[in-house]
Structure 1
Amino acid sequence: MSAPFLSIRDLERRLATGNVEHLTFVPGVNVFVGRPNTGKTKWLQTLDFLLGDTGANPYEQSDEEGLAEKYEAASATICIGDETFRIERRWREVGAKGKVFVDDEGMLAKDFQHWLMEKLGIPLVNFPKGNPMSGQTWPELSFRTLLRHIFRQQRFWSGLVDQQTDNEQHASLLLFLGLAERIYSDDYGKLVDLKLKSMRLRARREQYSETLNDLAVNLLDSEDATLGVNETTVTAALKRLQDEIERLQTRKLEVLTTASDASLPVSDRSRLSELGHARAAALEEATEARQKRLEAEDRLAEVRRYRADLAAEIERMGRVADASELLADLKVTHCPACDQGMSTAA
């Protein structure tokens, strides 16, 4: 089964006065013939604008004086397979300037291109511009790109036609050949994304290693510094620092002992030792007393809470006693559950 094809049945331009200029096409090839500057190019630009051009309408861009105010809308009847649709652009209508109306249903130009490609059975694919590993977002191979591959406008006499970039030409040709979905597949896009993430992570790891080496150069000895920062060199540096701390602490104790022996006579050294032991014992007693004080404060807080609970309970019991005295004279004549009368026992 062949894919549906697109054909143009007629083309109209609506003037601001309400009148309509009309072109009717016949099946096959249609040729515009006429003298220069008689509007042939404007008709083609109007058709191009109806087929989803996102730019300004061709009459606003015209250098001819008064042409922008002359027209207010354009429409065309298109056939896709066995279906017929009416497409319209209304650039004078508020809120409709960037929309394409398909049978009076408005949609954005990009959404119209998606609708058109779906009707024509053309798959939506994204293709890389240049190097796939460049990190740039892959643009969509839109209907406008495909149309530009087939129909290229000649806007200036100094050049032939608009030049389409090589990557757009290749993507368009691959789509026409039915290969674009296989070459620019989702799996290929995911693979490129994973490779890009891997490259970024590798670059971050290298940058982290360089920064870590710069920071750790003063902690590692000259031999370890040449090997870089790793688990072995960090463990060796940590062991060396611990040994250095122990050596300095031992040296500190030796210096303090030597200074103490040099500054105190022999007769006072025993007294100093006694005072040191007494100070240690006093600190221990103070610590025990502080702990007992904290326990007593906790116990006192608990007793106060217990006292507050008892006071609240006594107050409730008092309210119950007062209620009992008030309700003592009341007689119950009916059951509160079944509302039946109750007899008084003799």
Structure 2
Amino acid sequence: MTESGSTIAAARSVRGIRIVSLQLVQRTGEIEEYRFDQSSFTVLTGPRNSSKTSTLKLIDYCLGDRDGPYSAVGRSIADKYQDVSLTISLNGTHRTIRRSFVRGEYSKVFLDDESDFPVENFSDWIYSQLGWPSLQIPLGRNADTAQQMVALSFRTLLRHIYRKESSWTEFASKEYDYYRVAVVNYFLGLAPNKYERDAREFKLAQAERDLAAAEAVHRDVTDSTNEMIRSVCTQLGLPILVNESGILAAQTELSDHLAELHRRRNEIVGQQMSGESEGDVAATAAGYDPALTQSYQDVSVAVQRAAESIASLRVLVQEHTQSLSLVELDRGRLERLSGAFEVFDELPVRTCPACEQKVDVKREHPDGSCYLCFQPVVADLRKRRVELEQRALDSEKREVEEALARSRYDLEHAIEREQALKSRQAELAGLINDVRSAQLAPFVTALEDIASESAKLIQQRAALPAISQALARQGTAEGVVIAARKEADRAQSAILDDQAFRRIAGERCSKLADRMNEFLRNFQGRGWVGSSVTISQDLTFFVGTRPWNEQLGAEARVLFFLSYSYALLALESDIGQDSFAPSLVILDNPYQHDLAETVVRESLDLIGNLAYRTGGQLITTQSRPAVDLRSPHHEIEMPDEYLFDEL
């Protein structure tokens, strides 16, 4: 049975998403097109590997898939086709989305062939076109324990709209529970209020965590600051300073005291310099010698010169030592050369170098001549030259040794002289100190007392900036605590009264559960377990008294998710514009887990009829022809050949 007319009836709702057509352009220029606007229920039929699932994957790819084409739809598609275009209706407005398989354009979405944007922005774009909110949700079931907020993307919603062949036993493959709760809340129209509340609860929890952390830091800073100030003040003899005013008062007092000590010191020194003390100690000191200072300077100059002389002599000794080593090395090489002459003298020539014939070493030849060329043999001049060089090196070695011995002798005497000068220098320094002590004796005690007291005051004053910084850190930590407490108070005051929200949430969860039960009652004893579905306000689905995933086997789970798709299509009529109903359900091969074919066909008829009545859209795939389906539908017979990757 098919729908009359070429499009979905205009009297029914146009809110939400509808698939209008899918167009593929081959790299040869040929175009393939599939129409989905001929009925509210479209069935893709054909044998295995006839591109049914791959067609759904292409629709999914156009709806914001970020994977590359090889991963998303398969290599054979990406290699065969140049691009794919999907025309969709968003709240009745047609828009065409094109995705390219040309390298360099994978990450772009082309809109109506007029503009493009990065695929990462697809969720924001489709939300704005549908008038749906873009929300942040807590990363976890409980907002008060979540550590961060994350975006709820359109791709997450699509996993509940498009049920893949691998997802007939769970809401979505490998989906975290907090995402499932967020998606159902979103479709029911509860998400904006719920996640506004959750965001405020998250903000309150974060503010309370920040306050606790700030208070802990403040306690640590206060304890360490108080201990440091107490310790420093006790050690330096200062009063315990607890605020900036106390520090300023202590700084003023210490500065005044230091100024008074400086005045007293100058007074004592002035008395000594003017000779106002009793007696002329400098003139009567025993052993006083006015030339001591000049003698000390002369000896110091002599010590400096002696040190320079020692340094020069050490350099000279080092150079002579190196010269001696070089002479000995050259002498050794000449000895080895002389030995080589003696070795090779005894080697006879057995081949003529001119004609290369063998020569008898015992052939007759005149005495004192060469047995090869018969010329007179003279003494070997090379050996004589070597001997001359050896004698020259022996003479040079003796000269270097004598110079080295003289240098070492001079160095030893220079060191002894330096030591004697240093002893004399120390002796003169002692005499000078005795004279100075005799001169300053009447004033030393008073000056030492003043210096000691001044040093103590300077140390106390130097500690004040550190104490001030510690108190400043304590004040900063206290300011952070005050700010965190104010933020926590603001977050607490922003928590909404949730009584009205709980009532509305309960009503909408009941409507969703009622629709599922309306569907499931048709299959009592034919794959269904006989218990009703209920949905708690935290969006936990129960079958009877147990959660659905603990109660249902594989066969019943297929019916459970068929009923969930049925209920999603009914959201627009059950809740109206307060929901964010997708009005679209895509089911890839619902013939799963040995569920009877008659049960699956009846299920599809129920969902198809509901789509017809509400103006929604159902797209499904199956290998068998759609002749047995009784609800209004349009059948697309896929080519009986392998076109796409059936992954």
Question: TM-score w.r.t. structure 2 length?
Answer: 0.33
Residue identity matched to 1:119: Q
The yes-or-no answer on 1:114 pairing with 2:127 is no
The yes-or-no answer on 1:51 pairing with 2:60 is no
Residue identity matched to 2:207: K
The structure-2 alpha-carbon separation of the partners of 1:183 and 1:67, relative to structure 1 and needing over 3 Å to count, comes to closer
Aligned to 2:89: 79
Aligned to 1:185: 196
Q: 1:209 aligns with which of 222, 225, 238?
A: 222
Q: 2:20 aligns with which of 9, 21, 32?
A: 9
Any idea what SS the aligned residue of 2:232 has? coil
Residue identity matched to 1:164: E
The yes-or-no answer on 1:32 pairing with 2:32 is no
Residue identity matched to 1:91: F
Q: 2:180 aligns with which of 151, 154, 169?
A: 169
CA deviations on 1:184-209 (whole Å, 9 max, x unpaired) are 22994597177168335334424433
Distance 2:114 2:227 in 1: 65
Any idea what SS the aligned residue of 1:139 has? strand
Residue identity matched to 1:83: T
The structure-2 alpha-carbon separation of the partners of 1:177 and 1:49, relative to structure 1 and needing over 3 Å to count, comes to same
Residue identity matched to 2:190: L
Q: Is the 8 A contact 2:19 2:88 kept in 1?
A: yes
Residue identity matched to 1:148: R
The yes-or-no answer on 1:101 pairing with 2:110 is yes
Map residues 1-346 of structure 1 onto 2, 5 A cutoff.
4-25=15-36, 26-58=38-70, 62=74, 66-92=76-102, 95-108=104-117, 109-130=119-140, 131-132=143-144, 134-136=146-148, 138-154=149-165, 162-185=173-196, 188-189=199-200, 192=203, 195=207, 198-199=210-211, 200-213=213-226, 215-216=228-229, 218-219=231-232
Q: Is the 8 A contact 1:88 1:102 kept in 2?
A: yes
Distance 2:17 2:112 in 1: 16
Residue identity matched to 2:81: Y
Larger radius of gyration: 2
Any idea what SS the aligned residue of 1:18 has? coil
Q: CA deviation at 1:181?
A: 1.4
Distance 1:49 1:42 in 2: 10
Q: Is the 8 A contact 1:59 1:67 kept in 2?
A: no
Q: Is the 8 A contact 1:86 1:102 kept in 2?
A: yes
Q: Bigger CA drift: 210-219 or 31-40?
A: 210-219
Q: Is the 8 A contact 2:160 2:171 kept in 1?
A: no
Q: Is the 8 A contact 1:75 1:88 kept in 2?
A: yes
The structure-2 alpha-carbon separation of the partners of 1:211 and 1:27, relative to structure 1 and needing over 3 Å to count, comes to farther
Q: Is the 8 A contact 1:60 1:68 kept in 2?
A: no
Q: Is the 8 A contact 2:146 2:202 kept in 1?
A: no
Any idea what SS the aligned residue of 2:56 has? helix
Distance 2:68 2:49 in 1: 21
Q: CA deviation at 1:75?
A: 0.8
Residue identity matched to 1:176: F
The structure-2 alpha-carbon separation of the partners of 1:214 and 1:31, relative to structure 1 and needing over 3 Å to count, comes to farther
The structure-2 alpha-carbon separation of the partners of 1:3 and 1:43, relative to structure 1 and needing over 3 Å to count, comes to closer
Residue identity matched to 1:37: N
Q: Is the 8 A contact 1:13 1:74 kept in 2?
A: yes
Q: State, as a whole percentage, how many aligned pairs show the same letter.
A: 27
Q: Bigger CA drift: 42-51 or 188-197?
A: 188-197
Residue identity matched to 2:107: G
Q: CA deviation at 1:139?
A: 1.7
Q: Is the 8 A contact 2:81 2:101 kept in 1?
A: no
Distance 1:183 1:268 in 2: 99
Q: CA deviation at 1:112?
A: 2.9
CA deviations on 1:107-163 (whole Å, 9 max, x unpaired) are 332333222112222111111112555442x22222111112332434599999513
Count of paired positions: 258
Any idea what SS the aligned residue of 2:67 has? coil
Q: Is the 8 A contact 1:125 1:141 kept in 2?
A: yes
Any idea what SS the aligned residue of 1:171 has? helix
The structure-2 alpha-carbon separation of the partners of 1:166 and 1:189, relative to structure 1 and needing over 3 Å to count, comes to same
Distance 1:32 1:60 in 2: 20
Q: Is the 8 A contact 1:52 1:113 kept in 2?
A: yes
Residue identity matched to 2:214: L
Residue identity matched to 1:201: A
Q: Is the 8 A contact 1:45 1:58 kept in 2?
A: no
The structure-2 alpha-carbon separation of the partners of 1:220 and 1:45, relative to structure 1 and needing over 3 Å to count, comes to farther
Residue identity matched to 2:109: V
The structure-2 alpha-carbon separation of the partners of 1:208 and 1:111, relative to structure 1 and needing over 3 Å to count, comes to same
Distance 1:158 1:81 in 2: 31
The structure-2 alpha-carbon separation of the partners of 1:134 and 1:212, relative to structure 1 and needing over 3 Å to count, comes to farther
Any idea what SS the aligned residue of 1:163 has? coil
Q: Which has the higher helix share?
A: 2
Q: CA deviation at 1:210?
A: 4.9
Distance 1:152 1:218 in 2: 71
The structure-2 alpha-carbon separation of the partners of 1:8 and 1:128, relative to structure 1 and needing over 3 Å to count, comes to same
Distance 1:2 1:221 in 2: 84
Aligned to 1:344: none
Higher relative CO (Cα under 8 Å, sequence separation at least 6) belongs to: 2
Q: Bigger CA drift: 154-163 or 98-107?
A: 154-163
Distance 1:179 1:190 in 2: 16
Distance 2:67 2:171 in 1: 22
Q: Is the 8 A contact 2:57 2:72 kept in 1?
A: no
CA deviations on 1:254-281 (whole Å, 9 max, x unpaired) are xxxxxxxxxxx97679xx9xx99xxxxx
Residue identity matched to 1:115: W
Q: CA deviation at 1:244?
A: 11
Which consecutive residues of structure 2, in runs of 5 or more, have no partner in the other structure?
Answer: 1-11, 236-240, 261-276, 282-438, 444-647
Q: Is the 8 A contact 1:152 1:162 kept in 2?
A: no
Any idea what SS the aligned residue of 2:120 has? helix
Any idea what SS the aligned residue of 1:52 has? coil
Q: Is the 8 A contact 2:23 2:85 kept in 1?
A: yes
Distance 1:165 1:9 in 2: 32
Which consecutive residues of structure 1, in runs of 5 or more, have no partner in the other structure?
Answer: 223-228, 251-264, 277-346
The structure-2 alpha-carbon separation of the partners of 1:196 and 1:52, relative to structure 1 and needing over 3 Å to count, comes to farther
